[in-house]
Structure 1
Amino acid sequence: MNPYLDIVIRSVAVYLFMVIALRIFGKKQLSQLNTADVILILLISNSVQNAMVGSNTSLYGGMVAALALFVVNFIFKRIMLKSTFIKDLVQDTPEILIHDGKIAFQTIAKLGISNEELQEAMREHGVEFYKDVKLAMFEIDGSISIISGEKNLRQTHHKRKIHKTLGNINN
């Protein structure tokens, strides 16, 4: 087999494996990377390098692997735009955290969002009390968007931060 075709096949296989692994292990946490996440990404990239290029450590081998990853990512995104089945399989749906001032405790616990984290998002959106939140959503990219009942809506964007000292909501 052509060594460069072998690199393309290996790279596509690693890409698909990573898509599945991120789906299983929670890509939502990638919206804000902490130190452990960065270390994990660096170690994963190092561990799959040989799986993609094999013994070919040449410049061309690396460029072929990178090109294959760019192409498969482009194609995969196009497929997700056209196929709702694939999109639903790979991508989570937004989750309602608060609706008309009522907190969805089961959803918040399932997602591992702390009370402090939710309050931080509310403050960033200019909302002080839960009762003033018309809708709070946990978006597919890991951000929390909040719509208040006020007429003067602020447009801000809160990225979820994962930190070891944050726990689940217990109340």
Structure 2
Amino acid sequence: MWHDLFSIQIPLLDKVVRTVAVFLVVLLLLQLFGRRETAQLTGFDFVVMLLLSNVVQNAIIGPDNSMLGGVVGAVVLLLANGVLVRVAHRVPWLRRIVKGRQYTLARHGDYDEANLRRLALLPSDVDQAVQEQGGDGVGDTELITLEPGGAVVVRLRRAEQSATYGDVTELVARLERIERRIEALAAPPR
């Protein structure tokens, strides 16, 4: 029993090559078929991701069911990811492949229908992001983008932006100055 836990049942190089190859293929497939960040996964997307991990499991571990083999696979997978992220940081064309690119979802209050279709997003998905960031709908926006990291960034029209604490403090100070001037003008001459 103990022997089965710690004895890798396939050559170590085989385990490393399998893990890196499956990692790169899954990464490529996710880029080709579109991906959303975890925070934006629908229930359907989440189920597909879970099933995908199960489908590729045997390709990674092969006939090896040892605990040590699983640990080696996990370490190799994390190392491959770390190396890819660092290399992509220095190589612009690889960064575009790994991180993706920015997409405009709406401009000047109008949806970019072509990009919504390309990304398999509905206008209601965009409206939800607008509402989460303080707008009522796409008509309140100047620009909406889907960033490479998966975040939806909403830039509201100036008239729709909320006042900050600093804005209110500045207005109060200006009103106080105006009140003092009015009081000085209204005061009887001495």
Same fold (TM over 0.5): yes
Structure 1, unaligned runs of 5 or more: 155-171
Q: Which residue of 2 aligns with 1:152?
A: 162
- How many Å apart are 1:17 and its aligned residue? 0.7
**Which of residues 125, 130, 133 in structure 1 aligns to 2:141?**
133
**AA of the residue aligned to 1:97:** L
Q: Sequence identity of aligned pairs in percent?
A: 28
The answer to whether 1:35 aligns with 2:35 is: no
Deviations 1:108-151 (A, max 9, x none): 23323222222222222222253431211122233321011335
SS at match of 2:22: helix
- How many Å apart are 1:65 and its aligned residue? 0.5
The answer to whether 1:92 aligns with 2:100 is: yes
- CA 47–112 in structure 1, closer or farther in 2 if over 3 Å, else same: closer
Q: Which residue of 2 aligns with 1:82?
A: 90
**AA of the residue aligned to 2:14:** D
Preserved contact between residue 14 and residue 51 of structure 1 (Cα < 8 Å)? yes
Q: Which residue of 2 aligns with 1:69?
A: 77
Q: Which has the higher helix share?
A: 2
Q: Which residue of 2 aligns with 1:166?
A: none
Q: Which residue of 2 aligns with 1:58?
A: 66
**Which of residues 124, 134, 140 in structure 1 aligns to 2:132?**
124
Give the whole-Å Cα distance in 2 for the aligned partners of 1:116 and 1:95: 17
Structure 2, unaligned runs of 5 or more: 1-9, 165-190
Preserved contact between residue 95 and residue 107 of structure 1 (Cα < 8 Å)? yes
Q: Once structures 1 and 2 are overlaid, which stretch shifts more, 72-81 or 46-55? A: 46-55
Give the whole-Å Cα distance in 1 for the aligned partners of 2:21 and 2:69: 16
Q: What's the TM-score, normalizing by structure 2?
A: 0.70
Give the whole-Å Cα distance in 2 for the aligned partners of 1:7 and 1:114: 42
Q: Which residue of 2 aligns with 1:101?
A: 109
SS at match of 2:47: helix
Q: CA RMSD in A?
A: 2.2
- How many Å apart are 1:11 and its aligned residue? 0.4
- How many Å apart are 1:69 and its aligned residue? 0.3
Preserved contact between residue 140 and residue 157 of structure 2 (Cα < 8 Å)? yes
Q: What's the TM-score, normalizing by structure 1?
A: 0.77
SS at match of 2:60: helix
Deviations 1:75-110 (A, max 9, x none): 000011000111122332111122233432322233
- How many Å apart are 1:39 and its aligned residue? 2.8
Preserved contact between residue 126 and residue 138 of structure 2 (Cα < 8 Å)? no
- How many Å apart are 1:56 and its aligned residue? 1.6
**Which structure has the bigger radius of gyration?**
2
> How many residues are aligned here?
153
Ranked by relative contact order (alpha carbons within 8 Å, sequence separation 6 or more), the top structure is 1
Preserved contact between residue 99 and residue 149 of structure 2 (Cα < 8 Å)? no
Give the whole-Å Cα distance in 1 for the aligned partners of 2:103 and 2:19: 33
- CA 122–36 in structure 1, closer or farther in 2 if over 3 Å, else same: closer
